[in-house]
Structure 1
Amino acid sequence: MARSSSSSSSITPPQKHEVLISFRSEDTRKTFTSHLNGALKRLDVETYIDDNVERGEEIPSTLVRAIEEAKLSLIVFSKNYAADKWCLDELKKIVDCGRRKGQIIVPVFYDIDPSDVRNQRGTFGEAFAKHEQNFDEKKVREWKNALVEAANFSGWDCNDVNRTEFEMVEEIVNDVLEKLDRENVSDLDLQIAKLEELAKLQREFYKSITTFENMLNRDATIQRIIELKMERSVRLLRLTPNMLSYMQHSNSDDYNKSVFGNLLGRDDKSVFENMF
């Protein structure tokens, strides 16, 4: 399991996050989990992952608190996940929060057959055979019950040979956004960023060669940026066509500038005057 910082101090509060990622560090920390975490962060989804390799008998209070505060837990089941007592304690806490607080649990099966996880076969069976020798029956039974419950949630099997790891990560991330009731606006952000750079270049070009055509080109770019930011705001606010129907009653420039300015959180004049 993991978080961006490796501190396990009970004094330092965890960062605000929406998604907690539970995983076996040695299995996926530098591969699948890092790609999954990076993809979520690029979409402004705050995550909590724990890269602390020094582990004691009990999971630290910071990790317990992080599990409590997460809206959604992604559990990356890999071949050696069940061999790690820390992972199992963490899993038990996640399942407990799912029961008590209705938190969302999404299992991800990476390089492991989901049936092996649910039925404790293969490497999971081997791991529990050792646990039964080293821990009391009650603890092992609680681990098994938590494992079965978590593995039975609707999740993702990453063993499909017809899809790349990149494709799987993208699908999982989109599923997380939907479950968090979040909209993906990364496509608009990319377009806006490119057009803003273009507008800066056009401004410099207009300064060096002042022509009416150059002014119109830059104005057209700025207008398109405003339209995209408008679309971004509409998407994030989940506004329906019916909710926007009032806009059809006026086509005046002043009216539309006011609407754009309000949605962008700026004065309608500064939208144009202070951009770039």
Structure 2
Amino acid sequence: MDRGQSQGKKKRAEEESTEGASTSSFISPEATGVGSGQYDVFLSFRGSDTRNTFTDHLYHSLIKAGTIPLCVFRDENSIPIGEEFGSEILDAIARSKISIPIISENYASSKWCLRELVHIMDCKKSASHIVLPIFYKVSPSDVRHLKGNFGNAFHSSREHFDEKDIQEGQQALNEVSHLIGWESQKIANGHEGKLIEHVVENVISKLREDFQLDVSKQLVGLDDRMKEIMNWIDNPSINARMIGIYGMGGIGKTTLAKCIYNQLSNKFVHVSFLPDVRETTKAPRYYVSAKSTNIGYTTEQKSSV
């Protein structure tokens, strides 16, 4: 092979390895939030595998979820040839609460995807960063041991990687393969719509944990009360519920109300906890309200002290 053919082959390989990582950022106007500079979700994916299909459907489902659109980072264009892996992408990962690496067949053939994954796993170790991997038409075992078509894609591209990318990339792939995530072919017999529903529900649930009320971890004597109340709430024959908690001061009414709120908040679209109402109104002191609309019916729950 002459020099010109060799250079042409190398250029094509570089184009294939850089296409589709999440570096050139495009943020939907719907997902910009209030300009806090924080992202709810960062999507890492191999563009040639999933850009216009699964990742696109997941992205639009995420930004439409909830009453306030989520701020989701994804790219719109592939990385230009010759462009260095910049700090912008690393900042976006660090400023995201949740990263979703979509590990597809050719994910590990891109050094840019591997660098994203390395930084994602580093953020998971050093901060309260949540990683929810999706193994898209690949098995975690193949990712872990670099086997099958996934392993072949990685090994066929190694000659274009730096030694650091190879070592750190393999470590990151091994770590992510041990995380609890989703295997696309095992969810609803491969129906991707159901998989996306599961992912969106889980993301919303994780984000709502930021709004949990502060309750001491060392609680004594509340378990039986909580169990009694939750059994009553879970009664399917009752659609509307109001819970009254009364008793002398200092026995834990406020703490119990907070525990109920934390237990139920992830199940509803709208929730609120209003403390010290007595100081401003004639109403009872604590009021917890949650409302959710499901198919065919509306459930409302209230508790007061």
> TM-score, length-normalised on structure 2?
0.56
The answer to whether the 8 Å contact 1:109/1:157 transfers is yes
Q: Does 1:28 align with 2:54?
A: no
Q: What is aligned with 1:105?
A: 131
Q: Distance in 2 between matches of 1:170 and 1:63?
A: 27
Secondary structure in structure 2 of the residue aligned to 1:181: helix
Q: Does 1:169 align with 2:196?
A: yes
Q: Does 1:83 align with 2:109?
A: yes
Q: Which structure has greater strand proportion? A: 2
Q: What is aligned with 2:70?
A: 45
Q: Distance in 1 between matches of 2:168 and 2:103?
A: 17
Secondary structure in structure 2 of the residue aligned to 1:162: helix
Q: Distance in 2 between matches of 1:138 and 1:237?
A: 47
1:84-138, Cα deviation, whole Å (9 max, x unpaired): 1111111111111111123101100111122111211122322332344333434
- Pick one of 121, 132, 135 that aligns with 2:161: 135
Q: Does 1:74 align with 2:74?
A: no
The answer to whether the 8 Å contact 2:41/2:96 transfers is yes
The answer to whether the 8 Å contact 1:25/1:51 transfers is no
Q: Residues 52 and 5 from structure 1, CA distance in 2 versus in 1: closer, same or farther, beyond 3 angstroms?
A: farther
Ranges in structure 1 where 5+ consecutive residues have no aligned partner: 7-12, 184-230, 260-276
Instruction: Compute the displacement of 1:80 (Å).
Output: 0.7
The answer to whether the 8 Å contact 2:41/2:97 transfers is yes
Ranges in structure 2 where 5+ consecutive residues have no aligned partner: 1-20, 29-34, 211-264, 288-305
Q: Distance in 2 between matches of 1:85 and 1:109?
A: 18
Instruction: Compute the displacement of 1:57 (Å).
Output: 5.1
1:199-225, Cα deviation, whole Å (9 max, x unpaired): xxxxxxxxxxxxxxxxxxxxxxxxxxx
- RMSD value, Cα: 3.3
Aligned length: 194
Task: Tell me which amino acid in the other structure corresponds to 2:151.
Answer: G
Task: Tell me which amino acid in the other structure corresponds to 1:58.
Answer: E
Task: Tell me which amino acid in the other structure corresponds to 2:26.
Answer: S
Q: Does 1:19 align with 2:28?
A: no
Instruction: Compute the displacement of 1:245 (Å).
Output: 11
Task: Tell me which amino acid in the other structure corresponds to 2:102.
Answer: V
Instruction: Compute the displacement of 1:34 (Å).
Output: 0.8
> TM-score, length-normalised on structure 1?
0.61
Secondary structure in structure 2 of the residue aligned to 1:18: strand
